[in-house]
Amino acid sequence: MHTFEASSGLVPLAASLLAGQRIAILLPCYNEALTVATIIDDFNKYLPQAEVYVFDNNSSDNTASLARAAGAIVRAVPLQGKGEVIRRMFADVEADIYIMVDGDDTYDASVAPQLAARLVEEGLDMLVGTRVTDEQAAYRFGHRFGNQMLTGCVAALFGHTFTDMLSGYRVFSRRYVKSFPAHSAGFETETELTVHALELRMPVAEVATRYKSRPEGSLSKLDTYRDGWRILRMIVRLFKAERPLLFFSIGAVACMLLALLLAVPLVQTYLTTGLVPRQPTAILCTALALFGTILLSCGLVLDTVTKGRIEQKRLAYLTVAAPSARRG
């Protein structure tokens, strides 16, 4: 997987590759009245053949009415959270190519045709628009550092990953969308999107795209610490669910090492005197060893279950044709 800067010179090629493709622009929105009409106009300009969907997540302003006036198809999602919105989007919208972008007008709509064309040309399942900006206010240090830390955690646990795991600008194939389980409720959904692709070893890529500051008066819905903690918890849950043998083996090894560490002086005393004077410690060592054995057994059983579940997800994923097979 490599990164490149999209070029306007690819527009004629993009038009030919996207001919006959059903394209859906998906905008998850919560109180985005200042920006939603602009985003819809931009995507209508650069991808006039696409249908724009705005999924309004209980906005208290007039986001929905402005989106409807701008020509978008508006759906209401009563359950709060970006993950809830994505679950509804992927379930309700039928298309060949899905372009999902945050409703804050910080991403570049002009590169959407090139992103979609690359997805089709290379038969990809997910393409991430990595954020590139010189504006400090657009991508604050705390968010940047948290993104790098969380991206590094996912890379360590699941291997090959992206450089901007939390980007809100993504293009999906139909087979990705219809096989995505969508368990999360909030901003941790980006982590789940990434791990789903890595788990099934899908063909993916990333493209450097321009990222700009929010318009004046528009506020970010992301809380650095709260949502960072939620994302970190999601990584741990995914680690347990997708790599159970490794997850439980770490606990098993820790228990066994602690049991051995506590047992060494007991064994030395027994060899010297033939007595075991610290019986509570001996019982604790035995309990730790048994607990470690139980953890390892859980890991082995769950690893078998997980492999079967992944095989089922893979079969469901393969029932849908790749974008390149749908060229008009």
In SS3 terms, 43-99 reads as HHHHCCCCEEEEEECCCCCCHHHHHHHCCCEEEECCCCCHHHHHHHHHHHCCCCEEE
Residue keyed to tokens 């019982």 = 283
Q: Are 162 and 194 in contact (CB under 8 A)?
A: yes
Q: Is the pLDDT of residue 304 over 60?
A: yes
In whole angstroms, give the CA distance from residue 95 to residue 174.
7
Q: Is the pLDDT of residue 227 over 70?
A: no
In whole angstroms, give the CA distance from residue 301 to residue 309.
13
* CA 118 to centroid of chain Cα atoms: 20
The pLDDT > 70 percentage for the chain reads: 85
The pTM assigned to this predicted structure is 0.77
Q: What is residue 328's predicted lDDT score, i.e. its pLDDT?
A: 44
In whole angstroms, give the CA distance from residue 226 to residue 222.
8
Residue keyed to tokens 């039928």 = 94
In whole angstroms, give the CA distance from residue 128 to residue 151.
13
Give strand pairing partners of 265. none
- Of 82-91, 160-169, 245-254, 300-309, where does mean pLDDT reach its minimum? 160-169
Q: What is residue 4's predicted lDDT score, i.e. its pLDDT?
A: 45
Q: Is the pLDDT of residue 10 over 50?
A: no
